[in-house]
Amino acid sequence: MNIEQQLTEKTAKALQSLYGATSDKIAFEKTSPDFIGDLTLVVFNFLKISKKKPEETATEIGTYLKDNIPEIADFNVVKGFLNIVIADSFWLNYFKIINGKPFIKPVPDNAPTVMVEYSSPNTNKPLHLGHVRNILLGYSVSKILSAAGNKVVKTNVVNDRGIHICKSMLAWQKWGNGETPESSGLKGDHLVGKYYVEFDKHFKSDVKNLKLEGATEEEAEKKAPLMLEAQEMLRKWEANDLEVRNLWNMMNGWVYKGFAESYKTLGVDFDSTYYESNTYLLGKEIIDTGLAKGVFKTRDDKSIYIDLTADGLDEKTLLRSDGTSVYMTQDLGTALQRHHEVKFEKMIYTVGNEQDYHFKVLFLILKKLGYAWADGLYHLSYGMVELPEGKMKSREGTVVDADDLMKIMIDTAAETTKELGKVEGLTDDEANHLYQSIGLGALKYFMLKVDPKKKMLFNPAESIDFNGNTSPFIQFNYVRIQALIRKAKEGWDFENLDVFTHNITLLQKEKELIIKLYNFNTVLQQAANELSPALIANYVYDLAKEFSQYYHETPILKEDQKDLILFRLQLSKTIGIVIKSGMGLLGIEVPERM
RNA sequence: GAUCCCAUAGCUCAGCUGGAUAGAGCAACGGUUUUCUAAACCGUAGGCCUUUGGUUCGAAUCCAAAUGGGAUCACCA
């Protein structure tokens, strides 16, 4: 079925029969638009075995292929380029098979399991723009992996304990006057975040005072009374102090409720959630294993470490001299626990690139401990989100809050939609749902169309632009297709678009569109391999753009011949299916009208 | 000091494992609506792909170095 495979195989045979040797460099690529043809073979690589001029070699191979592959209609040679024209009948035939069918297949029973971790928030403040990129990436990658035939387990690790939480708790205790989400009308995560900021404010003035008394910055930060109190609170938490635990439970409860709301608006979910308060003691048994295997070593002060200098890394402490564990130890333990619970083939950590080093070390340690599954661990590292005015700093108030951002996007969508007069005939619920699809779609697409590993600039003005390479443009083209189908059902007798029995001549653009559809699976596979939603985003945009051009230059319902109307409707409908599937992989909804 | 990542139009980004004249969108300028939804379409203009070497028939793409930007290198998470 796959035409490239067939061509590659036959080319190998052609080389063998023409020149008595073969090559492992046979690769077909898309023909450049300036030349005639669909697929191109570059023959320069074969000159050594053909011992002939490029043109001659290309012509000989072309002749052989044309004689042996019925789907080849024609070929032409330009310098060392062999351009192959695939017969329209092949593309039409292909279209008959896919016409109206879903493009994404269900996950087979024997599919490998992949665990994808994303979001991983701290519970001391609300989600911000950086989390948004993380969450959208992780969610989209889950969808893509699932579409590519994997069982996906989406998981979230909540960092619900530690000094950061105690800061919020302490500030609330001191200055909160019993304020609750209900009494303040604030979303729970925002309320807790407010007290985190409050802590920082008072802490800074503590530090300032101490510095006036002659302390250095470092000393002051360590000795600030507020910090000492927070640390005391953490100790009490670890000792299971009832009062502290109750406060902790209450405030975390507020935050979870707030997060749940944000996740819901964003349209993402998880199959499992791990809480660090349950896992932070894990990893200590791994220390024994490591020591027994001689992988870990003990220092004079009883702290335990691993020496990675031979691998070009540093020494990494895994157990403090007081016997407590560090972040790395916890992550080792969590990895072990998760592999035990979910027998994953692969585990993907969606975490920012500032932790590249951490994950390099984590994976290396697991490999050194001899866990074979460690080869399946992968750090999906993504770049920072920067604002036009520079980096986001929570303490300087230059953070873009996730809830605010979503609201702005939805409100702007509402405004624009009303301006364009597109709300007629919609109920309030329908209209609100539409604003949500458009506003959030724009946000998601804006963040996902960029290669994950690159840092990205978030320009608010540009992100709410609904023209050009944006989600609303893609959604709009889907909507046009649905409008065509609705009209066709009303005015014409085209109830069943799935039957394809006619024979027609393809326009150039129609052929290009079918080829585009043909490429969907390749792009999906590549996106799954590279864990890159950007590939899907760019593909869907290209498809929508080509459709938009087609729509403008070609009559569909206005066409005279009934066969042609039917075919063009079918083509449009199938393009719609692919647009919807592709957008679905990005976590973006497509409306039926807009 | 060491390691890792990045550098393409004024701006934001594509450009897959090397191939023919480097592509979109935004911004700018001009055009298209009695005809399927103009959140659209068409056109004009805009480039020493940071620099220098190397590999090759052939480099934006691979290798090395330089420059600029970012990140990391805790008994923090």
Q: pLDDT (tens digit, 9 = 90+) per residue, A324-376?
A: 888 899 999 999 999 999 999 999 999 999 999 999 999 999 999 999 999 99
Residue A32, C-beta contacts closer than 8 angstroms, at least 6 positions apart: A40
- Give the nucleotide with minimal C1' distance to the Cα of A442: B39
Task: Tell me the CATH number for domain A402-585.
Answer: 1.10.730.10
Give me the CATH topology for the region A3-86. Answer: Gyrase A; domain 2 (3.30.1360)
Minimum CA–C1' distance nucleotide for A461: B26
- Checking each nucleotide's C1' against the CA of A360, the nearest proves to be B4
Contact between A113 and A150 under an 8 Å Cβ cutoff? The reply is yes
Distance in angstroms: CA A590, C1' B77: 39
Low-confidence residues of chain A, pLDDT below 50?
none
CB A148 within 8 A of CB A217: no
CA at A346, C1' at B11: how many angstroms apart? 39
Is A167 within 8 Å of A230 (Cβ atoms)? yes
> CA-to-CA distance for A212 and A418, rounded, in angstroms?
58
Across A478-488, b (16+ Cβ under 10 Å) vs e yields bbbbbebbeeb
Distance of CA A238 to the CA centre of its chain: 36
Task: Pull the structure tokens for residue A104.
Answer: 């994404």
Q: Give pLDDT, residue A309.
A: 87
Helices (H), ranges, A377-507: 402-419, 428-448, 460-463, 471-491
What pLDDT is recorded for position A389? 74
In our burial notation (b when 16+ CB lie closer than 10 A, e otherwise), range A81-116 reads bbbbbbebebbbebbeebbeeebbeebeeebbebbb
CA A6 to chain CA centroid, Å, is 33
List all nucleotides in chain B with at least one atom under 7 A from a protein Cβ. Answer: 3-7, 11-17, 19-21, 24-27, 35-42, 57-58, 70-77
Residues contacting residue A162 through CB under 8 Å, at least 6 positions apart: A122, A234, A276
Q: Closest nucleotide (CA of A472 to C1')? A: B39
| Closest alpha carbon to C1' of B16, residue | A526
Instruction: Estimate in Å the CA A274 to C1' B16 gap, whole number.
Output: 37
Q: What is the pLDDT of residue A393?
A: 61
The spacing between the Cα labelled CA in A584 and the C1' in B33, in angstroms, equals 33
- Asked if A494 and A566 touch (Cβ cutoff 8 Å), the reply is yes
| Cβ contacts of A502 within 8 Å, gap of 6 or more | A563, A566, A567
Predicted pLDDT at A252: 96
pLDDT of residue A557: 92
- Please check whether residue A514 is in contact with residue A91, taking contact to mean a CB–CB distance below 8 angstroms: yes
Q: Distance from residue A431 (CA) to nucleotide B31 (C1'), in Å?
A: 35
Which amino acid makes up residue A366? L
In chain A, domain spans: 3-86, 162-276, 402-585
Q: Which nucleotide is nearest to A449 (CA to C1')?
A: B13
3-state SS, one letter per residue, for A25-54: CCCEEECCCCCCCCEEEECHHHHHHHCCCH
Closest protein CA to C1' of nucleotide B41, residue: A552
Query: What is the predicted ipTM?
Result: 0.96
The separation, in Å, between residue A36 CA and nucleotide B69 C1' comes to 43
Q: Which nucleotide is nearest to A484 (CA to C1')?
A: B36
